[in-house]
Structure 1
Amino acid sequence: MTSIGDVALSIKRVQHRHHRALTAALADLGVSLVQWDTLRHLDRHPDASLHDLAQLTFQTDQSFGTLATRMAERGLIERMQGPGRAVRHRLTPKGEQIRAEGAQRVRAVQRRSFAALSPAQIDTLGDLLDLILTTPLDHEPG
């Protein structure tokens, strides 16, 4: 019988494997995985705030602010003043091009990673992970 700890470690290993493969696949586009993920989220959430993008990309507001500034300087995103103190973000044409090219590469890595699973197994894995993610932890921060 596999222990819960072994399964948790396997999940972490798959995540690390994906991170390395995706970083390599995106390298010649001149973006990191976090930068491409930002472009992906901005495509899905145009005009997102800095705080929203920080949460979506698992960054702190401060670290995402630094990242967004660098991406704006490279012409990948635009930063606009929103209501109050909010700063809104939007893809530029250059950012959209890199997002689209990166998406093809990300899908290719994902297809290779899950190639050993049947479509039914992928559905089952997705259902099991969704179940884990929707089950609250007793001491999960608010």
Structure 2
Amino acid sequence: MAPELQSLGRAVKQAQYRQHRALDGRLAGVGTTLAQWDALRAISRSPGAHARSLAAATFQSEQAFGTLAGRLVAQGLVERRPGQGRRIEHHLTPAGEEILKAGHRIADEVLAECFAPLSEAERTTLLGLLHRLTEERPED
């Protein structure tokens, strides 16, 4: 018998919520939040990217990302530079790189704890299934 879809959706959301709460709590110890660390991670992956692409990468609206980036600039973690045309490029500062590295260590610890109940084979299967659910589908 197939699981009820709403129960399945809720279980996925609950796992994500627990993971995010654990990450946010531990990241506070290095002076950042999950949203800020995620933004630093996105900027690190795409140095010089503009707000629109960074907002998409962090699952935020462009306006929300702009506000967040402004806080990161004020904290000395991100630098904004003029780009092509009217675009503003985003780059990490050395302080931003340090927070990012600390966040990676924390994320590795938290995620190891979150997924500890699953075997390596189960984690591989789960990752494959989630990729199938999130892959781009052509429009009809």
The normalised TM-score by structure 2 is: 0.94
Shift of 1:59: 1.2
Whole-angstrom distance in 2 between the partners of 1:121 and 1:14? 15
Which residue matches 1:8? 9
Which residue matches 1:86? 87
Partner amino acid, structure 2, of 1:43: S
Shift of 1:132: 1.1
Whole-angstrom distance in 1 between the partners of 2:14 and 2:47? 32
Aligned residue runs from structure 1 range 1-142, under 5 A: 1=1, 2-134=3-135, 136=137
The alignment partner of 2:117 has SS state of coil
Whole-angstrom distance in 1 between the partners of 2:39 and 2:135? 24
Shift of 1:136: 3.8
Shift of 1:135: 6.3
1:3-41 Cα deviation digits (max 9, x unpaired): 121111100001111111010010021111010001111
Partner amino acid, structure 2, of 1:104: R
Shift of 1:138: 7.5
CA RMSD of aligned residues (A): 1.6
Larger displacement relative to structure 2 (17-26 or 127-136): 127-136
Mind listing any 5+ residue stretches in structure 2 that lack a counterpart?
Answer: none
Partner amino acid, structure 2, of 1:98: I
Shift of 1:124: 0.4
1:67-87 Cα deviation digits (max 9, x unpaired): 111111110000001001101
Larger displacement relative to structure 2 (52-61 or 128-137): 128-137
Aligned length: 139
Whole-angstrom distance in 1 between the partners of 2:121 and 2:62? 39
Which runs of structure 1 show a deviation greater than 4 angstroms over 4 or more consecutive aligned residues?
A: none
Whole-angstrom distance in 2 between the partners of 1:65 and 1:71? 10
Partner amino acid, structure 1, of 2:122: Q
The normalised TM-score by structure 1 is: 0.92
Whole-angstrom distance in 1 between the partners of 2:139 and 2:17? 26
1:43-66 Cα deviation digits (max 9, x unpaired): 111111111111111111111111
The alignment partner of 1:48 has SS state of coil
Shift of 1:137: 9.2
Mind listing any 5+ residue stretches in structure 1 that lack a counterpart?
Answer: none
